[in-house]
């Protein structure tokens, strides 16, 4: 009896000491609206561009990012579609071929926002690394050899203990990166 | 022939065995006969002797140009809807034809990544694409210029397009690419891309005015395969209707050589079915009325059928098959062959005696068939495979039908016959009238012939083969729309630099394109695209790389990098961004052809370069007005290594040669017929009398064509053989009748009955051809009808009078 009690207390202590063990990362809740800020940075050009909007994710493959700043622009993902409206022009990006970079990018967004990080890593042939920093858990997907415009690194930050996704940073092979901060 | 008849009459089983064997053999072989639908068989061998490139193997000419257009220019159909309709059409065509794999590839959607990859390639291979002087480069690599360029980039990279070109900018701090861009792409094409109306919108291609969304389909077969072309046409027609239903304000237009080929084939098949069906119906009705007994009709059909099968069987054994176009035109020969059968039958109907029929008809039928064979045999010496096929087919049909008529039919003639005396009475009544005694008719006929002969030297020969091709209304509409929207009413011509190897073709291309500059200076062309800028030869690239390396010495590299760093410091950009350029200064990319890189998909590279047989063709288009097209074409065609991508351009001269050949062939045929008649009649005057209707009617046809503004072409020139054949046949039978006594002798009555019936049927059949929609088939009608009618008139009027004159002179001499 005494032994069993000791084991249970030890386990509880571990759980308390290591919250990351039980706080799994989760994606966005399906159907809920999330205000977000998109920050695009070109470090070498010392350029930063910011956009704001509302993001809605619906499992398994619907994502709407409607921007209020600048108004009218959007990124819409649905079954077999990946549409981007920017500068008044709508682009229907090619996603028929699953190996096309746009298809991979689309799928990566959906997986990451949906909480399926492992699938995103597998799709991009990336390694996964977890770390904690204060009350956040950071999941980093690193691609060994990425072309300049392909995804080189994905960094997902989750709030502990809930595991709620806080931000997502996509870094390209050329060093430029885009951060989506969920508010 | 009588001996043969008696032999088989006494040995009927042998006859039946021989007939059965022959029928089985010819039927089996003819079933193997392949019918080529290669419309280019009409053409003589392509005349560019230096290269002997066969157009049938080139993919460029096979492309189908597809357009999605608004049905009403004022409608509010959006550009996106045009794109959706186009995608639906092209995707459906691919899916439906997937099993047959009729489509090799399509181009309607431009992958945005492809454009970026092309720009990336161009930037990373820049040293191989640019010519410069050290002074120019010094200016471009100066701190001031780099600063200006970086400031431009600061603005450019704020745009959506700019952000996609971040990595390309890294190769070009000095702005070298932009400087060269306008040299590669003419300004009007740059303008069209930068307008909001047309160009590349949402990854689809639009004309400059933005009203037409277009794409391309490349079939997996060549346009020589008219059967597949017409099948694909039918598929596209169905799918177009589906698209129209789904997108009511949108129409799909398509054109191209494949569509034309298929359209030609479909039109020809329809015309042949219709004209032959109507002709057969008329023949059957007339024969039923005149001959009454079904057995006669069956015998006629059997004789003609045997002739056709035998012809096909021999053609298969000799050359594997024939052109379906020859078969279609060859249908007119059936009319000639039919007349021999008719002579046998009518003579038997009159006399009831096989012996008498054979005795009196064998010689004229054989003679007639031999002379007709001689007339068609001349076609074997032309340079057009189609005409050779037709000539061979024609003479074989006549041989087969004649042999069947003389050897087989006599054994199956009904013992108890019941001729339709009324029908024959009508014909006899008409023939009993001595038209040769009617001075008015004789005079009018003579005047008509003389007038035509006077004009005979003025006939024209249309050597433009496009005039005997058929273009459907839909195809014409598509072509017009393309010319209006795509080429702004100009004519876009395609040329190629041709050589045994890629390097040679690219090496000689700049020299050819230098002509474009002079033509542009004269205002004859609208700024042709310089393919040599996109595809410099490897040798040229090496020279440029050497120039690059000579300029960017180690010390120069340091200097330029130092300038970049300074400029970056001034503009707030990190110099490391331009490390790719630094690398390129020291180690420029190795020479490589754009078409060898994986940047361009095959559906685009084949528009630039193609390999066929032992030759490589590098294409370049030129835009000019329709009035200047010939001048521009002649100018460029005269350049060494330059080829006009229009098979008709080279054949026009050769068609003229074929025309000249024809005159020679006609003379040869005439001499052959003359000799044959002379050997038969052993009398020069009788030979001339027999020849007169044939010769005079041919010159009458020539004159009539000139008077009525009709032209000869490569197809209806065969009418010459037809008129010769029929002309000499009728005159032989009339002469045969005249030689047997007075004008009302029995033989003359029988022959005239057969001639009148045969001529009536033939004239009706030839007349019906005039209702065909295919220009080639339609063009046969006028000359044939004029030839037929003149031949009959001359045989009935001139020949008896000449014979009378001959007899009168002979009698006077004897006295």
CATH number at residue B655: 1.20.1640.10
Residue of B nearest to A88 (CA): B160
One domain for residues B105 and B133: no
H or E element that contains B416: none
Q: How high is the pLDDT of residue A16?
A: 54
Tell me if B647 sits within 8 A of B40, measured CB to CB: yes
Q: How high is the pLDDT of residue A22?
A: 43
Q: Does A3 reach chain B within 8 Å, measured CB to CB?
A: no
C-alpha Rg value of chain A to the nearest Å: 19
Range with lowest mean pLDDT among A27-31, B13-17, B31-35: B31-35
Interface touch A149/B167, C-beta < 8 Å = yes
Nearest-angstrom CA–CA distance, A100 and B259? 33
Q: How high is the pLDDT of residue B230?
A: 85
Residue among B804, B666, B676 nearest B734 (CA): B804
What would the two tokens of residue A167 be?
A: 């931000």
Range with lowest mean pLDDT among A8-17, B205-214, B409-418, B540-549: A8-17
- Beta A47-58 vs A164-172: how paired, if at all? unpaired
Q: Is the pLDDT of residue B332 over 60?
A: yes
Nearest-angstrom CA–CA distance, B778 and B759? 20
Interface touch A43/B111, C-beta < 8 Å = no
Q: How high is the pLDDT of residue B582?
A: 95
Interface touch A102/B159, C-beta < 8 Å = no
What would the two tokens of residue B663 be?
A: 């005159």
Average pLDDT value for residue range B561-579: 94
pLDDT in tens, B736-753: 888 876 655 777 777 888
Interface touch A91/B167, C-beta < 8 Å = no
Q: Which domain holds residue B234?
A: 64-110+206-262
Q: Is the pLDDT of residue A110 over 70?
A: yes
One domain for residues B319 and B451: yes
Residue among B759, B755, B783, B758 nearest B769 (CA): B783
Q: How high is the pLDDT of residue A118?
A: 92
Nearest-angstrom CA–CA distance, B306 and B302? 6
Nearest-angstrom CA–CA distance, B567 and B482? 49
B426 contacts: CB under 8 Å, gap ≥ 6 = none
H or E element that contains A81: strand A81-86
Nearest-angstrom CA–CA distance, B439 and B149? 98
Of residues B122 and B662, the one with the higher pLDDT is: B122
What would the two tokens of residue B400 be?
A: 């087969």
What would the two tokens of residue B425 be?
A: 């009475």
What would the two tokens of residue A169 be?
A: 């940073």
pTM: 0.79
Q: B113 contacts in A (CB within 8 Å)?
A: 94, 100-102
Interface touch A44/B577, C-beta < 8 Å = yes
Residue among B411, B385, B537 nearest B45 (CA): B385
Interface touch A100/B203, C-beta < 8 Å = no
Q: How high is the pLDDT of residue B187?
A: 43
Beta bridge partners of B217: B64, B106
Size of interface A-B (CB pairs under 8 A): 53
Asked whether residue B98 is domain-assigned, the answer is yes
Residue B273 vs residues A23, B269, B715, B726: alpha-carbon distances, Å: 81, 6, 19, 24
One domain for residues B304 and B445: yes
Q: How high is the pLDDT of residue B133?
A: 92
Q: Is the pLDDT of residue A154 over 90?
A: yes
Beta bridge partners of B498: B617
Q: What's the structural domain count of chain B?
A: 3
Nearest-angstrom CA–CA distance, B485 and B206? 9
Q: Which residue has the tokens 């074997």?
A: B380
Does domain A29-182 bear CATH number 2.50.20.10?
yes
Q: B572 contacts in A (CB within 8 Å)?
A: 46
Q: A89 contacts in B (CB within 8 Å)?
A: 160, 201-202
CA distance A106 to chain B (A): 15
Q: How high is the pLDDT of residue B293?
A: 75
Q: Where are the beta strands (DSSP E) in B504-548?
A: none
pLDDT in tens, B176-223: 876 555 444 444 444 444 444 678 888 899 998 888 999 999 998 877
Residue among B36, B815, B26, B801 nearest B438 (CA): B801
Cα A22 off chain centre by: 20
Interface touch B574/A45, C-beta < 8 Å = yes
Q: Considering all CA atoms of chain B, what is the largest pairwise distance in Å, rounded to the nearest integer? A: 128
Average pLDDT value for residue range B701-726: 82
Mean confidence (pLDDT) of chain B: 84
Looking at B565, B592, B619, which one is the last position of a domain? Answer: B592
CA distance B62 to chain A (A): 27
One domain for residues B381 and B317: yes
One domain for residues B320 and B450: yes
Nearest-angstrom CA–CA distance, A69 and B507? 54
Average pLDDT value for residue range B573-585: 94
Q: How high is the pLDDT of residue B474?
A: 92
Nearest-angstrom CA–CA distance, A97 and A74? 23
Interface touch A47/B113, C-beta < 8 Å = no
Nearest-angstrom CA–CA distance, B780 and B745? 36
Residue of A nearest to B577 (CA): A44
Interface touch B157/A149, C-beta < 8 Å = no
Average pLDDT value for residue range B505-520: 90
Q: What angle do CA B396, B397, B398 make, to 5 degrees?
A: 90
Average pLDDT value for residue range A170-174: 93
One domain for residues B709 and B801: yes
Nearest-angstrom CA–CA distance, A51 and A69? 5
Q: Is the pLDDT of residue B123 over 60?
A: yes
Q: How high is the pLDDT of residue B559?
A: 96
Asked whether residue B510 is domain-assigned, the answer is no
Residue B422: pLDDT band by 50, 70, 90 thresholds? Answer: low
Q: How high is the pLDDT of residue B278?
A: 82
Q: Is the pLDDT of residue B74 over 70?
A: yes
Q: What angle do CA B195, B196, B202 make, to 5 degrees?
A: 120
Q: Is the pLDDT of residue B53 over 60?
A: no
Closest partner residue to A91 among B202, B576, B577, by Cβ?
Answer: B202
Q: Is the pLDDT of residue B590 over 80?
A: yes
Q: Which residue has the tokens 């809740």?
A: A29
B570 contacts: CB under 8 Å, gap ≥ 6 = B147, B150
A131 contacts: CB under 8 Å, gap ≥ 6 = A137, A138, A140
Q: Which residue has the tokens 């062939």?
A: B665
Q: How high is the pLDDT of residue B55?
A: 63
One domain for residues B654 and B732: yes
Q: Where are the beta strands (DSSP E) in B12-85?
A: 34-36, 64-70
Q: Does A148 reach chain B within 8 Å, measured CB to CB?
A: yes
Average pLDDT value for residue range B688-713: 88
Q: Quick check: bond before B610 cis, omega within 30?
A: no
Q: How high is the pLDDT of residue A20?
A: 46
Q: Count CB neighbours of B415 within 10 A.
A: 6
One domain for residues B237 and B100: yes
Q: Which residue has the tokens 């045929």?
A: B669
Q: B167 contacts in A (CB within 8 Å)?
A: 148-149, 174
One domain for residues B372 and B450: yes
Nearest-angstrom CA–CA distance, B395 and B191? 62
List b or e across B174-194, with b for residues whose CB sees 16 or more CB atoms inside 10 angstroms: bbbbeebeeebbbeeeeebee
Tell me if B14 sits within 8 A of B23, measured CB to CB: no
Q: Quick check: bond before A78 cis, omega within 30?
A: no
Highest mean pLDDT among A141-145, B287-291, B358-362, B554-558: B554-558
Q: What angle do CA B161, B166, B172 make, to 5 degrees?
A: 115
**Best interface-test mutation with A: which of B166, B201, B576, B583 has the largest number of A CBs within 10 A?**
B166
Average pLDDT value for residue range B758-769: 84
Tell me if B712 sits within 8 A of B462, measured CB to CB: yes
Residue among B290, B342, B435 nearest B754 (CA): B342
What would the two tokens of residue A139 be?
A: 């999941």
Helical segments of B352-420, H only:
354-377, 385-403, 409-412
Helical segments of chain A, H only:
2-17, 101-114, 117-123
Average pLDDT value for residue range B161-170: 82
B80 contacts: CB under 8 Å, gap ≥ 6 = A90, B202
Asked whether residue B41 is domain-assigned, the answer is no
Total residues belonging to chain B: 815
Of residues A114 and B224, the one with the higher pLDDT is: A114
Closest partner residue to A91 among B157, B203, B573, by Cβ?
Answer: B203
Tell me if B456 sits within 8 A of B702, measured CB to CB: yes
Q: B203 contacts in A (CB within 8 Å)?
A: 91-92, 94
pLDDT in tens, B265-287: 888 888 878 887 887 788 788 88
Residue among B276, B323, B303, B318 nearest B398 (CA): B303
Interface touch B157/A47, C-beta < 8 Å = yes
Highest mean pLDDT among B291-295, B364-368, B445-449, B769-773: B445-449
Residue B742 vs residues A183, B258, B302, B749: alpha-carbon distances, Å: 119, 62, 35, 11
Q: Is the pLDDT of residue A157 over 90?
A: yes
Q: Is the pLDDT of residue B56 over 80?
A: no
One domain for residues B95 and B241: yes
Nearest-angstrom CA–CA distance, B797 and B686? 16
Phi, psi of B222 (to 5 degrees): -85, 165
Closest partner residue to A101 among B80, B113, B170, by Cβ?
Answer: B113
Q: Does B157 reach chain A within 8 Å, measured CB to CB?
A: yes
Looking at B262, B281, B305, which one is the last position of a domain? Answer: B262
Tell me if B651 sits within 8 A of B46, measured CB to CB: yes
Phi, psi of A165 (to 5 degrees): -65, 130
B714 contacts: CB under 8 Å, gap ≥ 6 = B42, B384, B387, B463, B465, B468, B655, B658
Q: How high is the pLDDT of residue B236?
A: 95
Nearest-angstrom CA–CA distance, B782 and B393? 23
What is the sign, positive or negative, of the torsion defined by CA atoms of B494, B499, B502, B503?
negative
One domain for residues B808 and B672: yes
One domain for residues B214 and B179: no
Q: Does B113 reach chain A within 8 Å, measured CB to CB?
A: yes
What is the sign, positive or negative, of the torsion defined by CA atoms of A61, A67, A68, A73?
negative
Q: How high is the pLDDT of residue B814?
A: 76
Q: Give ipTM to 2 decimals.
A: 0.82
Q: How high is the pLDDT of residue B49?
A: 47
Residue B671: pLDDT band by 50, 70, 90 thresholds? Answer: confident
Q: Does B572 reach chain A within 8 Å, measured CB to CB?
A: yes
CATH number at residue B93: 3.30.70
Nearest-angstrom CA–CA distance, B722 and B372? 8
Q: Which residue has the tokens 């007709």?
A: B372
Q: Does A90 reach chain B within 8 Å, measured CB to CB?
A: yes
Beta bridge partners of A86: A89
Highest mean pLDDT among A71-80, B219-228, B295-304, B381-390: A71-80
Average pLDDT value for residue range B699-708: 90
Q: Is the pLDDT of residue B464 over 60?
A: yes
Residue of A nearest to B109 (CA): A94
């Amino acid at each position: 009896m005494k032994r069993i009690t000791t084991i249970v207390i030890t386990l509880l202590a571990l759980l308390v000491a290591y919250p990351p063990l039980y706080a799994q990362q989760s994606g966005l809740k399906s159907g809920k609206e999330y205000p977000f800020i998109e920050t695009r940075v070109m470090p070498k050009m010392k350029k930063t561009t910011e956009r704001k909007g509302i993001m809605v994710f619906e499992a398994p493959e619907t994502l709407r990012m409607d921007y209020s700043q600048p108004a009218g622009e959007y990124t819409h993902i649905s079954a077999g579609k990946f549409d981007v409206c920017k500068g008044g022009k709508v682009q229907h990006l090619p996603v028929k071929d699953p190996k096309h970079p746009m298809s991979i990018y689309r799928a990566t967004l959906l997986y990451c926002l949906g909480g399926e990080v492992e699938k995103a890593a597998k799709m991009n042939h990336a390694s996964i690394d977890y770390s904690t920093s204060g009350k956040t858990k950071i999941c980093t997907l690193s691609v060994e050899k990425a072309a300049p415009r392909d995804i080189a690194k994905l960094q997902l930050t989750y709030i502990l203990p809930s595991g709620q996704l806080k931000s997502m940073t996509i870094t390209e092979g050329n060093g430029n990166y885009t951060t989506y901060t969920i508010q | 022939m009588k001996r043969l008849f008696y032999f088989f009459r006494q040995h009927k089983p042998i006859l039946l065995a021989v007939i059965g064997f022959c029928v089985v053999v010819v039927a089996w072989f003819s079933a193997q006969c392949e019918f080529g639908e290669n419309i280019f068989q009409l053409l003589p061998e392509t005349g560019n002797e230096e290269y002997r490139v066969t157009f049938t193997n080139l993919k460029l000419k096979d492309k189908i140009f597809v357009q999605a257009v608004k049905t009403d220019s004022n409608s509010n159909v959006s550009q996106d809807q045009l794109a959706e309709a186009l995608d639906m059409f092209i995707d459906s065509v691919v899916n439906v034809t997937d099993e047959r794999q009729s489509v090799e590839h399509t181009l309607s959607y431009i992958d945005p990544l492809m454009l970026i990859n092309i720009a990336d390639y161009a930037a990373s291979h820049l040293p191989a694409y640019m010519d410069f002087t050290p002074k120019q480069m010094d200016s471009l690599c100066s701190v001031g210029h780099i600063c200006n360029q970086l400031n431009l980039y600061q603005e450019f990279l704020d745009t959506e397009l700019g952000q996609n070109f971040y990595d390309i900018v890294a190769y070009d701090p000095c702005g070298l690419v932009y400087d060269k861009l306008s040299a590669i792409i003419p300004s009007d094409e740059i303008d069209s891309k930068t307008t909001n109306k047309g160009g590349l919108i949402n990854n689809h291609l639009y004309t400059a005015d933005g009203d037409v969304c277009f794409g391309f389909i490349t079939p997996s077969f060549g346009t020589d395969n008219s059967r597949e072309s017409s099948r694909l046409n039918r598929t596209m027609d169905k799918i177009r209707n589906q698209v129209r239903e789904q997108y009511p304000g949108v129409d799909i237009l398509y054109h191209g050589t494949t569509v034309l080929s298929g359209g030609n084939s479909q039109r020809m098949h329809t015309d042949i079915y219709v004209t032959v069906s109507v002709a057969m119906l008329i023949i059957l009705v007339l024969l039923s009325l005149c001959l009454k007994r079904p057995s006669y009709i069956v015998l006629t059909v059997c004789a003609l059928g045997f002739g056709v099968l035998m012809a096909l069987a021999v053609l298969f054994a000799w050359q594997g098959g024939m052109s379906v176009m020859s078969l279609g035109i060859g249908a007119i020969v059936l009319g000639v062959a039919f007349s021999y059968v008719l002579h046998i039958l009518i003579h038997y109907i009159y006399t009831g005696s096989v012996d008498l029929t054979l005795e009196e008809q064998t010689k004229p039928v054989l003679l007639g068939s031999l002379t007709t064979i001689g007339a068609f045999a001349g076609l074997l010496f032309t340079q057009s495979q189609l005409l050779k096929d037709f000539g061979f087919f024609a003479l074989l049909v006549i041989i087969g039908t004649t042999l069947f008529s003389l050897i087989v039919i006599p054994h199956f003639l009904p013992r108890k016959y019941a001729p339709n005396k009324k029908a024959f009475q009508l014909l006899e009544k008409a023939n009993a009238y001595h038209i040769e005694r009617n001075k008015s008719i004789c005079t009018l006929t003579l005047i008509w012939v003389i007038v035509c002969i006077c004009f005979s030297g003025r006939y024209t020969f249309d050597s433009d083969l496009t005039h005997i091709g058929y273009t459907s209304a839909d195809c014409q509409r598509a072509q017009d729309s393309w010319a209006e929207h795509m080429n702004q009413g100009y004519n876009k011509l395609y040329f190629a630099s041709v050589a045994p190897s890629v390097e040679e073709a690219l090496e000689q291309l700049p020299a050819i394109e230098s002509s474009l500059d002079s033509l542009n200076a004269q205002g004859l062309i609208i700024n042709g695209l310089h393919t040599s800028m996109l595809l410099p030869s490897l040798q040229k690239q090496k020279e440029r790389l050497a120039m690059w390396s000579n300029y960017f010495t180690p010390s120069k590299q340091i200097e330029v990098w130092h300038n970049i760093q300074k400029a970056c410091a001034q503009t707030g950009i990190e110099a490391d961004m331009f490390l790719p350029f630094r690398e390129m200064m020291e180690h420029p990319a190795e020479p490589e052809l754009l078409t060898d890189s994986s940047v361009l998909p095959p559906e685009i590279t084949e528009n630039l370069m193609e390999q066929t047989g032992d030759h490589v063709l590098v294409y370049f288009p030129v835009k000019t007005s329709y009035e200047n097209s010939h001048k521009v074409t002649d100018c460029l065609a005269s350049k060494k290594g330059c080829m006009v991508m229009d098979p008709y351009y080279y054949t026009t001269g050769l068609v003229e040669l074929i025309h000249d050949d024809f005159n020679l062939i006609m003379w040869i045929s005439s001499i052959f017929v003359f000799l044959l008649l002379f050997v038969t009649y052993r009398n020069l005057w009788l030979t001339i009398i027999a020849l007169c209707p044939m010769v005079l009617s041919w010159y009458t046809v020539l004159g009539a064509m000139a008077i009525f503004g009709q032209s000869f072409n490569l197809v209806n020139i065969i009418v010459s053989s037809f008129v010769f054949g029929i002309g000499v046949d009728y005159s032989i039978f009339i002469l045969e009748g005249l030689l047997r006594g007075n004008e009302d002798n029995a033989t003359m009555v029988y022959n005239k009955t057969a001639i009148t019936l045969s001529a009536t049927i033939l004239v009706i059949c030839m007349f019906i051809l005039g209702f065909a929609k295919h220009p080639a088939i339609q063009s046969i009608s006028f000359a044939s009808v004029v030839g037929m009618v003149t031949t009959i008139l001359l045989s009935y009027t001139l020949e008896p009078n000449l014979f009378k004159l001959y007899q009168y002179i002979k009698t006077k001499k004897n006295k």
